[in-house]
Homo-oligomer: A and B are copies of this chain.
Amino acid sequence: MGQIPSKYLEQAADALGTLPGIGKRTALRMALHLLDRDLQEVEQMANAIVSMRKNIGYCKICHNISDTEICSICSHPKRDHSTICIVESIRDVMAIENTNSYSGVYHVLGGIISPIDGIGPNDIAIVSLEERLQKESVSELIFALPATVEGDTTIYYIFKKIKHLGIKTSSIARGIAVGDHLEYADEVSLSRSIMQRLPYNDQMLL
């Protein structure tokens, strides 16, 4: 990229370059673009980002992003509250909602078990899932986790934990390519894999 003629420009470009999918060249173009904008607009953007990070809240029931204590999905009277879809992240909730093929509720784990990354069962929302299953009347649990070793490990761990409750469990059909994350799947494949979910038991992975 050659020399950047100002440390302010360089710092802004460096900061923007930490965003996912943004290389050095694109970050510099973004920074130069921001220089051409009104100060007020630039401040507004900066405030929007910081305000989001500061003020965002999470649903007390499912841990999805929410501006209210209980999110719009959990508080919706027409959703099927006896079916819980277990997902890794809020991105996955959005991806599934976009398919318009699921009318149950969610439980966002906030991660998956990954010993390599130092993420164990206690680092994700498994305890709150167990508490939820004891309090609520749940008839089916759908695992919609990534088709990776970590996803399989997480399903297996949760399945073992809640097996004694006798709740029907299923895993979305692995119609999505192995190794792929849900948020990158196309909506048709993702929709189909929810429709074609299979009963889950501990023989499946072994």
Contacts of A44 in B (CB 8 A): 15
A65–B13 Cα distance when bound, in Å, is 14
A5–B58 Cα distance when bound, in Å, is 10
Q: A16 → chain B, closest Cβ, in Å?
A: 7
Q: Are B45 and A49 in contact (CB under 8 A)?
A: yes
Q: Are A15 and B45 in contact (CB under 8 A)?
A: yes
Whether A117 is near chain B, meaning CB under 8 Å from some CB there, is no
Which residues 19-60 of A have a CB within 8 angstroms of B? 19-22, 26, 28-35, 37, 39, 41-57
Contacts of A52 in B (CB 8 A): 6, 8-9, 11-12, 31, 34-35
The listed residue (B5, B56, B93) touching A90 by CB distance below 8 A is: B5
Contact with B along A79-95 (1 / 0, CB 8 A): 00000000001110110
Q: Are B46 and A9 in contact (CB under 8 A)?
A: no
With contact pairs A32-B90, A49-B42, A52-B31 given, residues A72 and B12 touching in the complex (Cβ less than 8 Å): no
**22 interchain pairs (CB within 8 A)?**
A3-B72, A5-B64, A5-B90, A6-B66, A8-B51, A8-B55, A9-B52, A11-B48, A12-B48, A12-B49, A15-B48, A16-B45, A19-B34, A20-B29, A20-B33, A32-B90, A32-B91, A35-B56, A37-B53, A39-B50, A42-B49, A42-B53
- Chain A residues engaging chain B, CB cutoff 8 angstroms: 1-9, 11-12, 14-16, 18-22, 26, 28-35, 37, 39, 41-57, 64-67, 71-73, 89-91, 93-94, 97-98
> Given A8-B67, A32-B90, A39-B53, 19 more contacts at CB 8 Å?
A1-B98, A2-B97, A3-B97, A5-B66, A5-B94, A6-B52, A6-B67, A9-B65, A11-B52, A12-B49, A15-B48, A16-B49, A18-B41, A19-B34, A31-B49, A32-B91, A34-B49, A42-B53, A45-B49
